[in-house]
Every structure is written in structure tokens, then in C-alpha cells.
Structure 1
Amino acid sequence: MYNSKPHQEHDIERLHQHMRDTRLAVLISHGDQGLMATHLPVLLDTDEGQFGTVYAHLARANRQWQDLAQGAEALLVFPGADAYVSPSFYPSKAQNPKVVPTWNYLAVHAYGTAEVIHDAAPLLQIVSRLTERHEQGRSQPWKVSDAPAGYLDGMLRAIVGIRLPVARLQGARKLSQNRSAQDIAGVREGLSASPDYLDQQLAAHMRQL
């Protein structure tokens, strides 16, 4: 990922929190079948490995798992908040009109070699943990065990699990850090005043600078 120095994020806790907060990641790999990408929910286990380990599952019909099984390096993209930044947000524009639009955003890239899981027991654990994560907070959370056993067995045979120990993490936290404090405040105020929820979300991150 291209990422200029002012916008690089190296805090492992912040990177992990971003990964946990991302509900849908993008798994990208390149192998015999060419470049492939799958959007999928993932689980991060920070107790496994230096940078954590990610668990997920793919449909067995999705041939991407075959490339992963052959040892192709994989990239998991965890997108975050983003917003268009207008030059009109910069108070400095009054003195120096040499400004152009840009884009602020947050993102984490995780790299590693995946292990493909076929056995029913660990597959069941992956889908159960994913379900528990997204059902928590509901008044009547649905559990995997609520499904009939025979039906569940068939569903497990239709997927493969993915275990990806993260070998390398990259974080981008582009929040106008290359601008003056006055311009940063102008961007933050401009995005806060926007009716767009994503603009407001990005402004909230800028308040943490």
C-alpha cells in the first residue's frame, strides 16, 4: 500500500481495533486462477502470533481457496471511514491559493499465507464465533445450534475455513496531518458540518489527533 510517512499508523492496538471494527473485509490473492477477491466477514484473534491471526470462511464453490491452499500470499483489506476534502476547508487558502482537493481515509492491510480448513469441528467453531459476534446485543440472539443438525452438517460441507496468521500489517490514517493545525481544524469543522454520515464519521476520527 502506498502510504506517505505523515499518514502511516504503527500503533498495533489501534490497527487491531480498526480490524475488529471493520465488519466486512476484502480477501485478495493471486494464483493459478489469476487475481481474485472476496468480500467476507472475519474474526481477529490477537492472542495468536505477533500481529494476530484472522479467521474466516469461503464458499467451497469459490475457487479462491484453491489458490490459498497452494501457498499464495493473501492480502486482507480492512477499509475504514473516508471523506472528500475540499480546498475551501483550508483557512490558509486565503493567503496561498495553491491548494487542490484530496481524500482523507483510514485503512489497514494485513498480509500472510493462509491455511485452508476442511474439518467440520474447526469450521463449526469459526461460524459459531462469527455468529456470536454479530448476534450479540440482540434481545433473542440466534445461535448456530438453533439450526437442525443435519442441515448444519450440509452447510458446513459447502464451505472451507481460512486461518491467516498475519505476517505484516500496514495502516493508513490520512487525516490531514501534513497540513497546519489551522487547516486541520478547518477540515474537521467542514466535515462535521456535512450532512453526510461518512464525512461526520471521518471528522470524529480527526478529533482524536
Structure 2
Amino acid sequence: MYQPPHFREDDLAVQHALIKAHPLGLLVTFGSDGLEANPIPFVLEASASSLGTLKAHLSRANPQWRNFDPAQEALVVFQGPETYITPSWYAAKREHGKVVPTWNYAIVQARGRLTIRDDPDWLRQQITAMTEMQEGPRPEPWNVSDAPAPFVAAQLKGIVGIEIEITRIEGKWKVSQNRPEADRLGVSAGLRLSQDDASHQMAELVDARGALPRE
């Protein structure tokens, strides 16, 4: 991933926080049919290895788990908040007009060897962890045990587990750090006028990163 120094994020805790907040990762593998990519929800076990371990499952009908080359690294891309940035928000537009649009985003890329886990106990633990992670904040969380046991057992037969011990991880927070303070303030104000959550999340990132010392 192209990494200008002022956008680079090397703090593992910050990288892990993005993965947990945005667990739907794009799983990219290389195999007999070339590159293959599928969006897969992951559970991150941060303490399972030095950089963390990703756990997920695929439909048994999905050919990706059969076709990948185990000698090659798998790549998982986790996309955080992302927004279009109009130059109309920049103070520089009013000063000299030498500005262009851009896109702000926060993203994490994790790499490691993919291991197949075709075991009912492992799969049950994985889907339980995923369910608890998503259902926990709900007023009346649904539990895997709410479904009939024979039904759950039948569903487990239709999926295959995957595990990736992360061996390389990169974070990139492109959130207007390269702009003068007046432009950053304009971006933040413009984003906060939007109605969507992603714009408000991005405004918070612009404010937070603008206050950090630059390299």
C-alpha cells in the first residue's frame, strides 16, 4: 500500500480498533484461478498472536477456501470511514483557487497465511464470538442457542472456518493532515453539516489528526 509518512498509522491498538469497528473485511487470495476476493466478517483475537489473529467462515459452496494457494499470503482489507472532500470547503479556494477534490479514508490491510478450520467446535466458537460481538449492544441480543440445536448443527455443516495469523499489518489514515489548519477546519465544518454517520466520523478523525505533531 502506498504510504506517505504523514498518513501512515503504525499503532497496533489503533489498527485493531478499526478492524473491530469495521469487521467486514475483503479477503483476497491467490490460487489456481488467479486472484479471488470476497467480503467476509471477521473476528479479531488481538492476543492470540503478536499482531493478532483473524477468524471467519466461508460458505462451503464458496470455492475460495478450496482454490487458494497455501504458500501465498492472504490479504484482508478493512475499510473504515471514507468520504469525498470537496475543495469548496478549503480556505485556500477563496484565497487562490489552486485546489482540487480528494477522498479521505482510514484503512487497514492485514496479511498472513490462511489456515482452514473444518471442525464443528471451532466453527461454533467462531460464530458465537461473531454473534456476541454484533448482538451485544442490542437491547435484546439474539444468541446462537436461541435457534434449535439440530438446526444450528445443520447450518455448521454448510460452512468452513478460516484463520489468519497476522504477520504483516498496515494502517493508513488519510484525513487531511497534509492541508493547512484553515483548510482542515473547513473540511471538518463541511463534514459536520452532512447527515450521514461516516461524514461525522471523518470530521472527528480530521480534528484529532490535525492536532497531532507532523513528521
Structure 1 and Structure 2 fold alike (TM over 0.5): yes
Alignment size in residue pairs: 209
2:85 is the counterpart of 1:90: no
CA deviations on 1:137-196 (whole Å, 9 max, x unpaired) are 333322222222222222111111011001111111011111111211111111112234
- Matched with 2:109 is 109
Q: CA deviation at 1:31?
A: 0.8
Residue segments in structure 1 that go unaligned for 5+ positions in a row: none
Scaled by the length of structure 2, the TM-score of the pair is 0.91
- Matched with 1:178 is 178
> 1:177 aligns to what SS in structure 2?
coil
Q: CA deviation at 1:34?
A: 2.0
The residue identity in structure 1 corresponding to 2:121 is: A
* 8 Å Cα contact 1:57/1:159 also seen in 2: yes
Distance 2:79 2:146 in 1: 32
Q: CA deviation at 1:33?
A: 2.2
- Matched with 2:199 is 199
Change in Cα spacing, 1:112 to 1:97, as seen in structure 2 (3 Å) is same
Moved over 6 A (4+): none
CA deviations on 1:84-130 (whole Å, 9 max, x unpaired) are 11112111223332211111111111111111001111111111111
Question: Residues 105-144 of structure 1: matches in 2 within 5 Å?
Answer: 105-144=105-144
Distance 1:207 1:164 in 2: 34
The residue identity in structure 1 corresponding to 2:11 is: D
Change in Cα spacing, 1:143 to 1:168, as seen in structure 2 (3 Å) is same
Scaled by the length of structure 1, the TM-score of the pair is 0.93
Q: CA deviation at 1:3?
A: 2.6
Q: CA deviation at 1:53?
A: 0.4
* 8 Å Cα contact 2:74/2:111 also seen in 1: yes
RMSD: 1.5
Question: Residues 1-209 of structure 1: matches in 2 within 5 Å?
Answer: 1-68=1-68, 70-209=70-209
Residue segments in structure 2 that go unaligned for 5+ positions in a row: 210-215
The residue identity in structure 1 corresponding to 2:98 is: K
The residue identity in structure 2 corresponding to 1:143 is: N
